[in-house]
Structure 1
């Protein structure tokens, strides 16, 4: 039913029922955090993940140790905290997920929400593969001798050489191509990896069962919703975006379950400092272990320092095998990896479900439809993920990691979010919205970050990343075939192109000017957010 606001222009965009926003009735149906602690723990679980353990310490080492902290801190205060506050406050103010929140403040930029959710979907599909590997290692740790500590297993080759207590390899002068038992366990026992990307190989059924276990745990932890759950600068920037879960809609989804008057400003500052502090502590812990390994092997730390899966499944298992009671240390380490990964996966799933549920609340909030939708996402993602637990699955995994969730994609979304809020919706308006919610004025520089500093820094980094871009090479040696790169670019473009495609759709299906399609007048914007009198169209005064 149309509501008359006086002289107005109606846009003929067809929107699903988005429910009432900001009302007590809708909040009860949609759900809210029972306490601030739940919100803080959920977001902390999302942002404190595997990147803190295996990415940040390696980037520090790779880029000069303490020198790396300079660009890291610059990105933290110029981009990390401002964008963290932007996304969380948007969710809290609109009480909407990452798609419908953009619809409420700027219809033209709704494509940002769709792009975010595509990235989250890709991330959920491949991120959980790491948990499957971790479960495999965890179960393998319950043995009299760690299976990656010796060369006496049936998967070991003649070139396998055990590391002895004196820090040397026997017959090293003869075995120029010697491999360690931990590397052979990873490549020949866990992955049984094929020789090239052209060979997908057989299904690794043990990994498939571990993957199924991970998805089952994720499903039952999320099904009731929130009630139960130079190059150095580019590296620093992408680490901030990865670690803080920026530009993928998760923070918006989590913030949307906050009470209206929750102090999101203070929460964001504390959570950001907690996350960075955790990265520093993890760096000390990881490099203490790697330093121990280098000392025992009488070698430089550069030979044992690795990033990503190489650190978690090769370097660190080798380290725990050298410790007293290695089984205990192995169990503790892989249990930590699983817990860090699971809570990040929970929030990604909740973000996707929240985004779609907020688009069709009258449908998904009835009966068990939300749970069935979650089951559909988990089942579909599981079957796609089976491709990555084949013998050639690691090649596909790296395509997902390099292209589907690339730093360039997140930087582009960050630029667009900053432009949308800073220049279209108005940084001063969002700033006033936050003041209305928390009751006092945050640092004024925040709105200048949204409008000037963040987009400039992100744009400079994005351009530099384009100039320095190199195609993915497996282990920095093997080049993918043309169709492999085509699949990778499909992953990238399938999320980023949704933004301009939606803009074109919105402009073609509206009868107003570009300015009218971009945003709503100040008074009416607040009216729509408070009362949501228009569920299926946007109305702008002429």
Structure 2
């Protein structure tokens, strides 16, 4: 206890359970909820997709979220701190998660800037009659899958401003910065998006869009790819396994109701995704109605194309489109910003703890470095293909690998799952049973390993998105290599603050029950 008390001195805390919950939900609800889920669901069985989606939520999303919460809350630190306290040889995994967050932060900002600019473009419908040409040519000045270094001023300067605001929030800290921002922006996001959905439901053709979205294709359930898509969507939308929820939970008071909070956060995120699907497909139904085609004949119903090409087309067609556009792109901005600050807090916490830096110092030095890299890479004419490639490799290689390692280390390697389960049950009003250990220790790593192998095989047999091999190897595999190198390089640096003199809170009755089961006790570590 003395070691824990010493390390907790001066550690930041959320103002309360509500502040943590809002911040956790704000992190989970991001750009992918709005522009990724509707298209993924539609392409993978429509209404039938909700079945594997729910299964994935219950068997992978919630269990890994609970794993993140239990690790951060029990071992009281950033990702590198927590994994070092599990064992010195595991510290690289913590830094690998920090590197993932750093990499994502560099490109996440430019998407938010696009949304900010398009909120203003919506007022005058600046994209004219050719939204695709405007976005690719006039706005991005896209040079394709190549590395040019040519800066686009209309993106560079708004990115500078966004980075300045973001780093100020990080510098203000957990309660005064991140929590306060989420308490303002998350309710505003929900209100704005509800207004959008209600408006969309009254458009001509909206019901056709909803029928296309919810009509089940039961045959799709026999396709393994549909189940993989469901696990991928849940996994990437909950902000799990790369340090965010682990770091966030470390700022909770020692007596915190972790299990119910995890359920609320997970189902709030999924509810917003379904709401986004309703709003998006009601709007797509209107577009199909205007063009006199079926909804399934439309193109561009996911990702960047949906948000910045398809939706501007719809906005130009509908009455009051300018207002709809402002609301839509403002919603994208808010969803992106609440996720961005959570991603950067992973980086901030790690450098504060290892190098003994203050919040302000980390914001200026490390946040400033992230901003410089972000501006150098993503305010250029190469941004679109580079973003697409780095996002693919970072999430589907980096994050999945991180999750597999987390499960294997805590489950098979250290046999920590009984202790973490006991910790969750000690501090929570709801309990988790042996099912959680089975899912985290066996089901999740097996499912994710299958996903990872399939992804790697696809990426090594054909170039991602048809880009040149040279480009995808340098940008995609290069990003993965940099994250691995960083994880070992920062592990080799000496800690400026003591982290090893740490003893987790005792769990009444756990040592005796662990001894009966033949598992490791707290004293045997």
Shorter-chain TM-score range: 0.7 to 0.9
Q: Is the 8 A contact 1:72 1:236 kept in 2?
A: yes
> Residue in 2 aligned with 1:221?
169
Q: Is the 8 A contact 2:72 2:78 kept in 1?
A: yes
Inter-CA distance 201–438: structure 2 relative to 1 (3 Å threshold)? closer
Which of 314, 321, 346 aligns to 2:316? It is 321
Displacement of 1:501 after TM fit?
9.0
Q: Distance in 1 between matches of 2:312 and 2:3?
A: 50
Displacement of 1:129 after TM fit?
0.7
Displacement of 1:466 after TM fit?
3.0
- Residue 288 of structure 2 is aligned to residue 291 of structure 1: no
Structure 2 unmatched ranges of 5 or more: 179-223, 495-499, 507-521
Inter-CA distance 306–328: structure 2 relative to 1 (3 Å threshold)? same
- Residue 439 of structure 2 is aligned to residue 491 of structure 1: no
Q: Is the 8 A contact 1:290 1:305 kept in 2?
A: no
Whose helix fraction is larger, Structure 1's or Structure 2's? 2
Displacement of 1:443 after TM fit?
2.9
Alignment of 1:284-433 (within 5 A): 284-302=278-296, 303-360=298-355, 363-364=356-357, 369-386=358-375, 387-403=377-393, 405-423=394-412, 424-433=414-423
Alignment of 1:4-153 (within 5 A): 22-23=4-5, 26-27=7-8, 29-143=10-124, 146-150=125-129
Q: Distance in 2 between matches of 1:499 and 1:384?
A: 18
Displacement of 1:472 after TM fit?
7.5
Q: Is the 8 A contact 1:421 1:427 kept in 2?
A: yes
Q: Distance in 2 between matches of 1:44 and 1:485?
A: 35
- Cα deviation, 1:76-108, whole Å, max 9, x if unaligned, reads 112111100010121111221111011112332
Q: Distance in 1 between matches of 2:368 and 2:169?
A: 15
- Cα deviation, 1:513-533, whole Å, max 9, x if unaligned, reads xxxxxxxxxxxx9972359xx
Q: Distance in 2 between matches of 1:442 and 1:395?
A: 43
> Residue in 1 aligned with 2:455?
465
| Structure of higher CA gyration radius | 1
Q: Is the 8 A contact 2:463 2:472 kept in 1?
A: no
Inter-CA distance 471–54: structure 2 relative to 1 (3 Å threshold)? farther
Q: Is the 8 A contact 1:31 1:227 kept in 2?
A: yes
Q: Is the 8 A contact 1:78 1:457 kept in 2?
A: no
Inter-CA distance 26–439: structure 2 relative to 1 (3 Å threshold)? farther
Q: Distance in 2 between matches of 1:527 and 1:147?
A: 58
- Cα deviation, 1:127-182, whole Å, max 9, x if unaligned, reads 11101111211222333xx11233xxxxxxxxxxxxxxxxxxxxxxxxxxxxxx11
3-state secondary structure, aligned to 1:260: coil
Q: Is the 8 A contact 2:236 2:395 kept in 1?
A: no
Displacement of 1:402 after TM fit?
2.0
> Residue in 2 aligned with 1:529?
504
Q: Distance in 2 between matches of 1:458 and 1:118?
A: 20
Q: Distance in 2 between matches of 1:500 and 1:73?
A: 37
Which of 158, 161, 164 aligns to 1:210? It is 158
3-state secondary structure, aligned to 1:376: helix
Aligned-residue CA RMSD (Å) = 2.8
Q: TM-score, normalised by structure 2?
A: 0.80
Displacement of 1:71 after TM fit?
2.5
Displacement of 1:481 after TM fit?
4.4
Q: Is the 8 A contact 1:234 1:464 kept in 2?
A: no
Q: Distance in 1 between matches of 2:119 and 2:69?
A: 35
Displacement of 1:540 after TM fit?
9.1
Inter-CA distance 21–489: structure 2 relative to 1 (3 Å threshold)? farther
3-state secondary structure, aligned to 2:230: helix
3-state secondary structure, aligned to 1:29: coil
- Cα deviation, 1:488-510, whole Å, max 9, x if unaligned, reads 2121233356778999x89xx9x
Q: Distance in 2 between matches of 1:438 and 1:139?
A: 46
3-state secondary structure, aligned to 2:79: coil
- Residue 181 of structure 2 is aligned to residue 191 of structure 1: no
- Cα deviation, 1:274-322, whole Å, max 9, x if unaligned, reads 1111111110110000111011111232423421111110111111111
Q: Distance in 1 between matches of 2:248 and 2:18?
A: 12
- Cα deviation, 1:431-488, whole Å, max 9, x if unaligned, reads 12222333664233112222222222222222233334467767x44x3242541332
Inter-CA distance 497–416: structure 2 relative to 1 (3 Å threshold)? farther
Deviation larger for 465-474 or 39-48: 465-474
Displacement of 1:111 after TM fit?
1.5
Q: What is the number of equivalent residue pairs in this alignment?
A: 456
> Residue in 2 aligned with 1:251?
245
Q: Distance in 2 between matches of 1:73 and 1:496?
A: 33
Displacement of 1:197 after TM fit?
3.5
Q: Is the 8 A contact 1:409 1:496 kept in 2?
A: no
Q: Distance in 1 between matches of 2:149 and 2:7?
A: 50
Q: Is the 8 A contact 2:168 2:363 kept in 1?
A: no
Q: Is the 8 A contact 1:136 1:190 kept in 2?
A: no
